[in-house]
């Protein structure tokens, strides 16, 4: 495992050296490689892909699609599963329909897509989802319902939710959020692709990721907070690999703060305040040092 | 001023390609080409050249390339002036990106840099010049016209960055331009357009992103703001490439209007522009018109390969 993870308190330790790359396309090569390795590793189990209509699942989907088109894998290797979240009788995420149109346009029609309607007015499902907070203190309904959906389906799911992220300029990986590490929980069905090994994680270590300053949202310049939050290094990188992903630009919420779930979101916001310091951390070296550069990582591991 | 890539004439707008184009090696090529052209322009110019500064991506990209040449010892830090105008009306700033751009410039500042940032009141005389620009080029875009009107009052040669290739999303049409893409054209122009300096810099925009990014129609639910989306629709391939070359440019994302007439505070001036705009719209027929770029034999340039075939590359 690339990381040693503990949850109480939340702590993430890098266990292997990583490196940087100038080639923005490397992430595609490694994603395809890791898909094949996951298949070898979990050959006896049912493995699926998720489709949310967002950039991460579409990127992984396009990589799988390319493996199918190249003849490396049969189209039946994985199926996609997606949830259409319904609120007050209507789909609540505008990303869903856009995502389905994208799927139909770019993904080989021989690959199965299973669409489930998930009613967020269903208190049982909502309660189950919210109770996941006890396992992993990530108080965002969007992420909780997606994990619950995966658990309800059964089998294993390849997910792309753990990627290098900088929350501020104090370190290189300051934005490690607890729900990016679902796959370290014994009950989780997730197989995380982007931290599968040091090579794929390193493929995100581009000049843009390393050198970009973190600019706080400013209403007069950045139009919308969620839009600005979505301007991540990986978004640029994904589009370089698959320009068609421009169709999924800009990002929107999986479960917006509307209707009957608004109060749940507000409650979770309250939880968020309570656990502010426990759901996000900075990835550190085994000696406890905060990681600030790729060079520091290499120096640390070279000395051993 | 100098420019050998296109033959351009106005009324009606025509643009003839004079050199073969090619595909860019990678997303970094544009940086190497901008640096090369800066060196060549410096050699070519018979007097001072200023890098036109608006606080936008293109201006900042050129300045960053210039500073890289300074760091490499290829140019002195005072080789170019960095010059721009903050337009205001009764003290109110009408340039949306200006303040952020000034802050950016302060952050990358090096001792010895020549920077000239001017405060320009939007008065009747300036409006008249803007209208002249619109009539001359047969096009009405306030933000572009006000900058050109201001540049005409400067003593030095101005280095502009306009007329980069834009995806047409039309079969067998590689390029189309609006008139304002060619502010460097004409005997009296004091502009040199770096993006059209030669076929090599122009071709450096032809990355796979240029060809493969799809056309996505503005959707108010997904795209927040029409101006913002239009900007991404046309320039996203370039933005991605620029960010890869200089990640610090994230500080200038997302674009706001260069100069917004809606922000004009002076009611008389606002009225003058609005009435002038009506007159312009009646007279300037091709307000948002484009011309398709053609070869010397009159054929529309269909593709890079087509340009190479014609010029026997």
Neighbours of B303 (CB within 10 A): 13
Question: B2 — contact with chain A (CB < 8 Å)?
Answer: no
pTM listed for this prediction: 0.91
Question: B72 — contact with chain A (CB < 8 Å)?
Answer: no
| Contact between residue B153 and residue B114 where contact means Cβ atoms under 8 Å apart | no
- Given a cut of 70, is residue A275 above it in pLDDT? no
Question: Are the Cβ atoms of B212 and A243 closer than 8 angstroms?
Answer: yes
Cα separation, B142 vs B261, in Å, equals 7
Question: Are the Cβ atoms of B236 and A246 closer than 8 angstroms?
Answer: yes
Question: Min CA distance, B22 vs chain A (Å)?
Answer: 19
Question: Are the Cβ atoms of A211 and B244 closer than 8 angstroms?
Answer: no
Question: A215 — contact with chain B (CB < 8 Å)?
Answer: yes
What is the Cα Rg of chain B in Å? 19
Question: Min CA distance, A102 vs chain B (Å)?
Answer: 11
Nearest Cα to A58, choosing from A83, A80, A26? Answer: A80
Question: Min CA distance, B197 vs chain A (Å)?
Answer: 27
pLDDT of residue A169: 87
How many domains in chain A?
A: 1
Question: Min CA distance, A175 vs chain B (Å)?
Answer: 18
* CB nearest to A94's CB, from B221, B225, B248: B221
Question: B285 — contact with chain A (CB < 8 Å)?
Answer: no
Q: In chain B, what residues touch A55 (CB-CB under 8 Å)? A: none
Question: Min CA distance, A229 vs chain B (Å)?
Answer: 12
Cα separation, B313 vs B297, in Å, equals 16
For the record, the structure tokens of B122 come out as 């939007």
Question: A250 — contact with chain B (CB < 8 Å)?
Answer: yes
Cα separation, B172 vs B191, in Å, equals 31
Q: In sequence order, which residues have a C-beta less than 8 Å from that of residue B263 and are 6 or more positions away? A: B89, B92, B93, B94, B96
| Over residues A158-172, mean pLDDT | 91
Question: Are the Cβ atoms of B244 and A243 closer than 8 angstroms?
Answer: no
**Domain B6-310: top CATH class:** alpha beta
Question: A262 — contact with chain B (CB < 8 Å)?
Answer: no
Angle between helices A141-153 and A123-131 (to 10 degrees): 100
Nearest Cα to B209, choosing from B251, B248, B245? Answer: B245
Decide: residue B286, CB within 10 A, 0-12 exposed, 13-18 middle, 19+ buried: middle
pLDDT of residue B119: 94
pLDDT of residue B10: 86
Question: Min CA distance, A260 vs chain B (Å)?
Answer: 21
Q: In chain A, what residues touch B254 (CB-CB under 8 Å)? A: 221-223, 227-228, 231
Q: In sequence order, which residues have a C-beta less than 8 Å from that of residue B49 and are 6 or more positions away? A: B41, B42, B80, B81, B156, B157, B158, B159, B192
* CB nearest to B253's CB, from A231, A239, A244: A231
DSSP secondary structure string for all residues of B154-220: -SSEEEE---------BTTB--EE-GGGGTT-STT--EEEGGGSSHHHHHTT--HHHHHPPP----H
Question: A302 — contact with chain B (CB < 8 Å)?
Answer: no
DSSP secondary structure string for all residues of A232-293: -HHHHHHHHH-GGGGGGPSP--SS-S-GGGHHHHHHHHHHHHHTTTTSEE--B-TTSPBP--
For the record, the structure tokens of A4 come out as 């040693």
**Segments forming the whole domain that contains residue A70:** 3-302
Most confident residue range from A26-40, A158-172, B246-260: A26-40
Chain A residue closest to B254 (CA)? A222
List the pLDDT tens digit at each of the 313 positions of chain B.
567 799 998 888 899 999 999 999 999 999 999 999 999 999 999 999 999 999 999 999 999 999 999 999 999 999 999 999 999 999 889 988 899 999 999 999 999 999 999 999 999 999 999 999 998 888 888 999 999 999 999 999 999 999 999 999 999 999 999 988 999 987 788 999 999 999 999 999 999 999 999 999 999 888 888 888 988 999 999 999 999 999 999 999 988 887 888 888 889 999 999 998 888 887 776 555 689 999 999 999 999 999 999 998 7
pLDDT of residue A220: 84
Question: Are the Cβ atoms of B224 and A94 closer than 8 angstroms?
Answer: no
What is the Cα Rg of chain A in Å? 19
- Given a cut of 70, is residue A2 above it in pLDDT? yes
Question: B215 — contact with chain A (CB < 8 Å)?
Answer: no
Question: A213 — contact with chain B (CB < 8 Å)?
Answer: yes
pLDDT tens for B87-114 read 999 988 998 889 999 999 999 999 999 9
Chain A residue closest to B257 (CA)? A221
Q: In chain B, what residues touch A98 (CB-CB under 8 Å)? A: 222
Q: In chain A, what residues touch B95 (CB-CB under 8 Å)? A: none
Q: In chain B, what residues touch A210 (CB-CB under 8 Å)? A: 247
Tell me the pLDDT band of A132, cut-offs 50, 70 and 90.
confident
Which run of H or of E encompasses A14? strand A10-14
- Given a cut of 90, is residue A133 above it in pLDDT? no
Probe site for chain B from A206, A223, A234 (most B CB atoms < 10 A): A223
DSSP secondary structure string for all residues of chain B: ----SEEEETTTTEEEE-S-----SSTTHHHHHHHHHHHHHHHH-SS-EEEEE-SSHHHHHHHHHHHHHHHTTSS-TTSSEEEEEEEEETTEE--TTHHHHHHHHHHH--TT-EEEEEEEE--HHHHHHHHHHHHHHT---HHHHHHHHHHTT-SSEEEE---------BTTB--EE-GGGGTT-STT--EEEGGGSSHHHHHTT--HHHHHPPP----HHHHS-HHHHHHHHHHHHHHHHHHHH-GGGGGGPSP--SS-GGG---HHHHHHHHHHHHHHHHH-TTTT--EE-B-TTS-B---HHHHHHHTT-
Q: In chain A, what residues touch B242 (CB-CB under 8 Å)? A: none
Chain A residue closest to B222 (CA)? A250
pLDDT of residue B288: 56
DSSP state of A108: -
Looking at A125-134, A262-271, B287-296, which range is the least confident one? A262-271
Q: Any idea where the domains of chain B sit in the sequence?
A: 6-310
Probe site for chain A from B92, B222, B253, B263 (most A CB atoms < 10 A): B222
- On average, the pLDDT of chain A sits at 90
| Over residues A187-193, mean pLDDT | 93
């Amino acid at each position: 495992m690339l990381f040693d993870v503990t949850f109480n308190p939340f702590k993430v330790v890098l266990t292997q050296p990583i490196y940087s790359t100038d080639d923005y396309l490397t992430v595609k090569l490694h994603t395809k490689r890791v898909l094949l390795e996951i298949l070898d590793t979990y050959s006896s189990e049912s493995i699926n892909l998720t489709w949310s209509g967002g950039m991460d699942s579409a990127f992984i989907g396009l990589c799988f699609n390319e493996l199918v088109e190249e003849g490396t894998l049969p189209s039946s290797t994985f199926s996609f599963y997606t949830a259409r979240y319904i609120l007050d009788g209507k789909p609540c995420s505008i990303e869903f329909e856009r995502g389905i149109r994208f799927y139909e346009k770019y993904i080989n029609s021989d690959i199965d897509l299973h669409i489930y309607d998930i009613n967020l007015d269903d208190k049982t499902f909502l309660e189950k989802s919210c109770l996941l907070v006890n396992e992993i203190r990530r108080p965002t309904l969007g992420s909780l319902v997606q994990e619950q959906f995966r658990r309800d389906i059964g089998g294993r799911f390849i997910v792309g939710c753990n990627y290098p992220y900088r929350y501020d300029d104090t370190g290189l990986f300051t934005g490690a959020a607890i729900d990016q590490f679902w796959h370290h929980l014994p009950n989780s069905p997730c197989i995380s692709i982007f931290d599968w090994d040091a090579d794929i994680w390193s493929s995100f270590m581009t000049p843009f990721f390393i050198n970009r300053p973190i600019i706080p949202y400013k209403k007069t310049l950045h139009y919308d907070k969620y839009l600005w939050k979505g301007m991540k290094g990986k978004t640029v990188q994904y589009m370089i690999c698959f320009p068609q992903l421009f169709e999924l630009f800009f990002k929107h919420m999986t479960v917006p703060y509307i209707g009957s779930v608004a109060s749940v979101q507000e409650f979770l916001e309250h939880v968020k305040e309570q656990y502010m310091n426990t759901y996000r951390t900075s990835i550190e070296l085994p000696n406890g040092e905060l990681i600030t550069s790729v060079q520091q990582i290499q120096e640390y591991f070279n000395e051993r | 001023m100098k420019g050998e890539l296109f033959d351009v004439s106005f009324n009606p707008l025509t643009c003839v390609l004079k050199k073969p184009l090619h595909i860019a090696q990678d997303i970094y090529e544009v940086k190497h080409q901008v640096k090369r052209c800066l060196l060549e322009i410096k050699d070519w110019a018979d007097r001072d050249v200023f890098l036109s500064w608006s606080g936008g991506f293109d201006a900042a990209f050129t300045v960053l390339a210039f500073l890289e040449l300074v760091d490499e010892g290829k140019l002195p830090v005072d080789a170019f002036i960095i010059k721009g105008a903050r337009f205001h009306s009764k003290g109110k700033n009408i340039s949306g990106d200006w303040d952020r751009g000034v802050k950016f410039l302060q952050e990358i500042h090096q001792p010895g840099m020549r920077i000239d940032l001017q405060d320009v009141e939007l008065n009747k005389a300036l409006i008249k010049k803007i209208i002249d620009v619109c009539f001359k080029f047969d096009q009405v875009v306030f933000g572009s016209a006000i900058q050109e009107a201001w540049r005409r009052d400067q003593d030095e040669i101005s280095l502009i960055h306009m007329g980069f290739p834009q995806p047409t999303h039309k079969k067998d049409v590689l390029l189309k331009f609006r008139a304002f893409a060619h502010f460097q054209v004409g005997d009296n122009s004091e502009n040199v357009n770096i993006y059209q300096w030669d076929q090599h810099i122009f071709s450096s925009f032809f990355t796979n992103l240029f060809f493969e990014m799809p056309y996505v129609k503005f959707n108010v639910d997904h795209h927040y703001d029409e101006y913002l989306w239009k900007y991404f629709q046309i320039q996203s391939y370039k933005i991605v490439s620029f960010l890869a070359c200089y990640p610090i440019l994230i500080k200038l994302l997302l674009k706001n209007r260069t100069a917004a007439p809606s922000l004009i505070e002076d009611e008389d001036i606002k009225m003058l522009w609005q009435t002038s705009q009506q007159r312009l719209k009646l007279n300037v027929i091709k307000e948002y018109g484009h011309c398709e770029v053609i070869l010397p034999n009159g054929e529309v340039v269909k593709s890079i390969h087509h340009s190479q075939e014609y010029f026997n590359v």
